[in-house]
Chain A
Amino acid sequence: MALPLRYSFRNVLIRWRSTFATVLGIALVVFVFVLLQSLAAGIEKSSGNTGDPRNIMIVRKGSTAESASLISRENLREIQYFEEIARNDRGEPIISADVLVLVNLPRSDGSGEANVLLRGVSPRGVELRPQVRLVAGRWFTPGKREIVVSSRMANRFANFGIGQSFKAGTANFIVVGWLDGGGSAFDSECWMDADECRSVFERDLYSSFLVRPVDESAATKFLERIEADRRFKLKAEKEVEYYRKQTMTAAPIKWLGGFLAIMMSVGAVFAAMNTMYASIGARTREIGTLRVLGFRRRSVVLALLIEGALLALIGGIVGCGVAYLWNGYTTATMGFETFSEIVFEFTVTPRLMAEGLIFAVLVGLLGSFLPSVRASRLPVIAALKSV
């Protein structure tokens, strides 16, 4: 029979002064773990949020990202007449040939410069991406050096206010509007006219095509056709699939989160161990008494393990609670797919919190294991004689 839970629980509470530092230490570990994982989750969410399930993205075969892809104008001329591609009210094929350019722009806080992804979109580009909305100003006029910047980047870069202008490449651009990508990867982009973009940045080739097929069966046929036609050397896949795979940036952050958490947890385990040794050492006679009353060694070990786990759980709850304050906070980092600044939100999911709490409990269990076993192995007589 186990000792009552209230025994373990009250022992944690009654020694709150001595356990406070350990609780804080574990809280810090869980905080770092949850926060870094929430960064990765935010990046993944941003990529996972992007795209329209009806659209198909075409890039050069062998290129892992749109920014590293090059497609000729001849390819555009041929593909846009494929009968699988839907047409708008004016009978034009719904296809956007985009150009992606990296430009180096100064930050608004004067802390240097960062790469920004500039997307030149064809007239159908906006129509193909309904999740991108104009939230201020107006869209750019084709043929003009006008630009629409992400509203989430507006306060991060200098001269991104509507009506302001900045220099990129050899040209000056006027900011005419702010877009909102709805939490997608488009929140990290600035949009302008594709042909103007090619002209300013002297690009003869496009980066990608985005296509809206007539229906699902046309989509399947279109994918097969692009894949089978050896002239093109292109790769076509659903737009949502393409973006779902663009989570490379999240991987090192996840790894860093795990690595840091493990390193810090070693310290936290020792802190918990120290606390438990002190706590158990102060009540050796009490443990001896429990043994005299008939509680077996395993009951004592279990009660002390629960105590360690509870101690850590309190730390875990504090860590998760503090990390949750960051939930939804917008930040940016350099994306490894595009080498440009990507904007995303810290995303503290219930799953991450659960992982944080489990992590904390494991730290508590590991930290209290040796002290518990040691206490239970102490001969009853020796324990009773302890001062």
Chain B
Amino acid sequence: MSVPNIVTIRELSKEYRQGEINVTALNNVSLDIAQGEFLTLMGPSGSGKSTLLHIIAGIDRPTRGVCRVQDIDLTKLDESGLADWRNQNVGFVFQTFNLIPVLTAFENVELPLLLTRLNAKRRREQVNTALELVGLAERQKHLPRQLSGGQEQRVAIARALVTDPKLIVADEPTGNLDSNSAQEVLGILQMLSRQIGKTVIMVTHDPKAAAFGSRSIHLEKGELTN
């Protein structure tokens, strides 16, 4: 039996103006991503991989084409609809971790849950589960500045996981990490895909990082090359 697709992209294009020039970031991209897949997007700088990731995650809009995630056409959602959709369906991991510096690890992970109807007790349980999953249960009262880069990124992964989204997107998640921390983070993302069935889409420059994925696609000048 074939695994259903979580992401369906058809003839997707993204153009924007940079001063007087029209820039084509994505050109007629069509792509299917299966549920539970660990897909890595590779390509040189400016190839459009981050733009594709942002469109799939609902934080950018295409100029043309279709992007359906879990049968929802993201191009049909307005700003508020997209915000709600992101909260319920996507977990984000950024290259620069993007933790809120004034909040503790626990509070950072709890942030997306504040937008749900869960009560404080349930929220606490879910945050603890997410932090345990990334091996940081004992660091939950630490502020981001009291954590190492690898630990910060693991907190960010816990935050991405905490709402139990089907899709996790990661934009160069190891770009700011030493090799040991990078291995840890990639190991966690791989485990999320293989053992928990999350669909992980990761942008990376690094072929070693891409090796953790189940499939890798390459973009160049806004087009898929394989």
Stretch from B63-71, B81-89, B131-139 contacting the other chain = B81-89
**Quick one: CB contact mask for A343-387 with B, threshold 8 Å, 1 for yes?**
000000000000000000000000000000000000011001000
> Once the chains bind, are A286 and B98 in contact (CB under 8 Å)?
yes
Cβ of B92 and Cβ of A293 under 8 Å apart? yes
- B187 adjacent to chain A (CB < 8 Å): no
Chain B residue at minimum C-beta to C-beta distance from A287? B100
Picked from B87, B88, B94, B102, the residue with its CB within 8 Å of the CB of A289 is: B94
Q: Is the CB of A285 within 8 A of B84?
A: no
Q: List 28 A-B contacts (CB under 8 A).
A: A1-B115, A3-B114, A4-B107, A6-B103, A6-B107, A7-B100, A11-B102, A14-B102, A285-B98, A286-B98, A289-B98, A289-B100, A291-B59, A291-B83, A292-B86, A293-B86, A293-B92, A293-B111, A293-B112, A293-B159, A294-B84, A294-B86, A294-B112, A294-B115, A295-B115, A380-B59, A381-B59, A384-B94
Q: Which chain B residue lies CB-closest to A12?
A: B102
Across the two chains, which residue of chain B brings its CB closest to A293? Answer: B112
Query: Does any Cβ of B come within 8 Å of A10's Cβ?
Result: yes
In the bound complex, CA of A293 to CA of B90 (Å)? 9
Task: State A293–B59 Cα separation when bound (angstroms).
Answer: 10
Complex contacts, B114 vs chain A, CB 8 Å: 1, 3-4
Contact with A along B106-130 (1 / 0, CB 8 A): 0100011011000000000000000
**Chain B residues within 8 Å of A291, by CB:** 59, 83
Q: CA A283 – CA B98 in complex, angstroms?
A: 10
Contact digits for A139-159, partner B, Cβ 8 Å, 1 yes 0 no: 000000000000000000000
Bound CA–CA A209/B100 (angstroms): 74
Instruction: Say whether B107 contacts A292, CB under 8 Å.
Output: no
Q: Known pairs A7-B100, A290-B111, A292-B86. 11 more at Cβ < 8 A?
A: A1-B115, A4-B107, A11-B102, A285-B96, A286-B100, A289-B98, A289-B100, A292-B57, A293-B86, A381-B59, A381-B60
CB-based contact A296/B100 at 8 Å: no
Considering residues A292, A294, A296, which has the most beta carbons from chain B within 10 angstroms of its beta carbon? A294
| Interface-centre pick from A14, A288, A293, A296 (highest chain B CB count, 10 A) | A293
> Which chain B residues have a beta carbon within 8 Å of chain A's beta carbons?
54, 57, 59-60, 79-80, 83-84, 86-88, 92, 94, 96, 98, 100-103, 107, 111-112, 114-115, 159
Known: A285-B96, A295-B115. A7 touches B103 (CB 8 A): yes
**Chain A nearest CB, measured from B76 CB (Å):** 18
Distance in angstroms between the alpha carbons of A288 and B83 in the assembled complex: 12
Which residue of chain A has the shortest Cβ distance to B102 in the bound complex?
Answer: A10
Interface string of A101-120 (1 = CB under 8 A from B): 00000000000000000000
Which residues on B sit within 8 Å (CB–CB) of A293? Answer: 86-87, 92, 111-112, 115, 159
Q: Which chain A residues numbered 270 to 322 have a C-beta less than 8 Å away from chain B? A: 283, 285-286, 288-297
A373 to chain B, nearest CB (A): 15
